[in-house]
């Protein structure tokens, strides 16, 4: 991967002066992702925090070409752009090697944009889809999404006398994406920046669709002080809530396996959205969440060894 020195010499594609919140994960993630790209980019964005805060007319933070169409269709829209690029290449009307990146939050990727994402992956467009997963519809005021962790207090899954927040566990989008048998899929976190950027570099070199699900802390929705974003992202990884792994041509690889995983409580207790769980009545939820994290972790380790083995025997 490019050295820090090389990276610092590259142009910033997401210019400063955008209107995202201080400490916003999406701001950090989009900067890191675009910094990792060596080629000129065309970026598409789903409607969401990143899009509305970086393109307030007549200004734009994007030094690359940028396309926003609607909430649910960034992958479909960019499919058309990528196809147009192929047509122009074929005719010799464009010389540069351009890369295509689609950004969407969890709402625009896990939920309303899921069909559009699935279609683009199945058709095999050469594009990188980045989901910045902050675990709720933050742009519209913190409503639960299918990425929201169980137990989180959101405006549509509020904790109350009879409720402990969101009842359901989050959808495993990365697993859904892997099921499309695309060449490259991964999970990353801005706390592990070199891992993230290495994954972006790999993804952009793949001749086909690629996907990276990036945890994106949200001070407003998760309710913590903005300067703790990277710490929160790191804790999500250290506790095993957010696993750093990649799937290259079907082979799973754990990119970070701490000797001792921290208990999930340590991540939860730093966030206002889980505060209500730390009462005797909700103690069982904490326990269930720990069991869930352990189960997912074991499953991932098994997938790593099984797929590696299967690959060897090929």
Partner 1 sequence: MRQAMTGNEAVAYAMKQINPEVVAAYPITPQTGIMQKFADYVANGQVDTEFLTMDSEHSAMSATIGASAAGVRAMTATSSNGLAYMWEIVYIAASYRLPIVMPVVNRALSGPINIHCDHSDTMGCRDSGWIQIFSENSQEAYDNAVQALRIAEHPDVMLPVMITLDGFIISHALETLSTYEDDKVKKFIGNYIPKHPLINPSQPVTYGPLDFFDYYFEHKRQQAEGMVNAKKVIQEVGRAFEKEFNRSYGLFEEYRMADAELALIVLGSTAGTAKAVVDMVREKGYKIGLIKIRCFRPFPEEELAEALKRIKVLAVMDRSLGFNGVGGPLFNDVRAALFGRNAEIKVVNYVYGLGGREITPNDIWNICNNIRDINLTGKVQSSVNYVGVRE
Q: Does the protein bind partner 1 through residue 78 (CB under 8 A)?
A: yes
CB atoms under 10 Å from CB of 296, counted, come to 16
Closest separation between CB of residue 71 and partner 1, Å? 9
Token pair 């957010």: residue: 242
Alpha-carbon gap, residue 126 to 311, rounded angstroms: 24
Q: Does the protein bind partner 1 through residue 305 (CB under 8 A)?
A: no
Q: Quick one: 76 or 285, whose CB is closer to partner 1?
A: 76
Closest separation between CB of residue 253 and partner 1, Å? 30
Site for partner 1 in 84-123 (CB under 8 A): 84-88, 90-91, 94, 96, 98, 115-116, 118-119, 122-123
Q: Does the protein bind partner 1 through residue 124 (CB under 8 A)?
A: no
- Tell me whether the omega of the peptide bond preceding residue 58 falls within 30 degrees of 0, making it cis: yes
Q: Quick one: 51 or 246, whose CB is closer to partner 1?
A: 51
Binding mask 29-68 for partner 1 (x = CB under 8 A): -----------x-x-x------xx--xxxx-x-xxxxxxx
Alpha-carbon gap, residue 264 to 290, rounded angstroms: 6
Decide if 234 contacts 191 (C-beta within 8 A).
Answer: yes
Q: Does the protein bind partner 1 through residue 141 (CB under 8 A)?
A: no
Q: Quick one: 69 or 251, whose CB is closer to partner 1?
A: 69
Helices 25-35 and 193-205, axial angle in degrees (round to 10): 50
**Burial environment of residue 263 by CB neighbours within 10 A (0 to 12, 13 to 18, 19 or more):** middle
Closest separation between CB of residue 266 and partner 1, Å? 38
Cα separation values, 6 from 11, 34, 276, Å:
10, 14, 46
Which residues are near partner 1 by CB under 8 A? Answer: 40, 42, 44, 51-52, 55-58, 60, 62-70, 72-73, 76-88, 90-91, 94, 96, 98, 115-116, 118-119, 122-123
């Amino acid at each position: 991967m490019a050295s820090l020195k090389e990276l610092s010499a590259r142009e910033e594609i997401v210019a400063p002066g955008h209107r995202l919140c201080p400490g916003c994960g999406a701001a950090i993630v989009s900067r890191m992702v675009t910094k990792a790209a060596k080629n000129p980019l065309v970026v598409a964005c789903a409607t969401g925090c990143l899009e509305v805060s970086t393109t307030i007319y007549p200004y734009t933070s994007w030094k690359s070409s940028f396309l926003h169409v609607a909430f649910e269709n960034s992958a479909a829209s960019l499919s058309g752009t990528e196809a147009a690029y192929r047509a122009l290449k074929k005719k010799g009307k464009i010389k540069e090697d351009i890369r295509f990146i689609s950004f969407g939050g969890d709402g625009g990727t896990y939920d309303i944009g899921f069909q559009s994402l699935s279609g683009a992956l199945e058709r095999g467009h050469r594009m990188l889809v980045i989901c910045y997963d902050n675990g709720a519809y933050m742009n519209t005021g913190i409503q639960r999404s299918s990425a929201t962790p169980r137990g989180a207090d959101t405006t549509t899954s509020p904790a109350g006398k009879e409720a402990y927040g969101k009842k359901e566990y989050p959808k495993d989008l990365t697993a859904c994406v892997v099921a499309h048998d695309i060449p490259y899929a991964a999970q990353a976190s801005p706390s592990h920046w070199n891992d993230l950027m290495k994954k972006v570099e790999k993804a952009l070199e793949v001749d086909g669709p690629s996907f990276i699900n990036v945890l994106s802390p949200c001070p407003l929705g998760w309710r913590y002080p903005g300067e703790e974003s990277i710490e929160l992202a790191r804790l999500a990884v250290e506790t095993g809530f957010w696993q750093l792994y990649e799937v290259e041509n079907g082979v799973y690889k754990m990119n970070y396996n701490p000797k001792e995983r921290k208990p999930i409580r340590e991540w939860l207790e730093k966030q206002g959205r889980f505060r209500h769980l730390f009462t005797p009545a909700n103690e069982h939820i904490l326990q269930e969440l720990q069991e869930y994290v352990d189960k997912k972790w074991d499953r991932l380790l098994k997938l790593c060894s099984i797929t590696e083995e299967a690959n060897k025997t090929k």
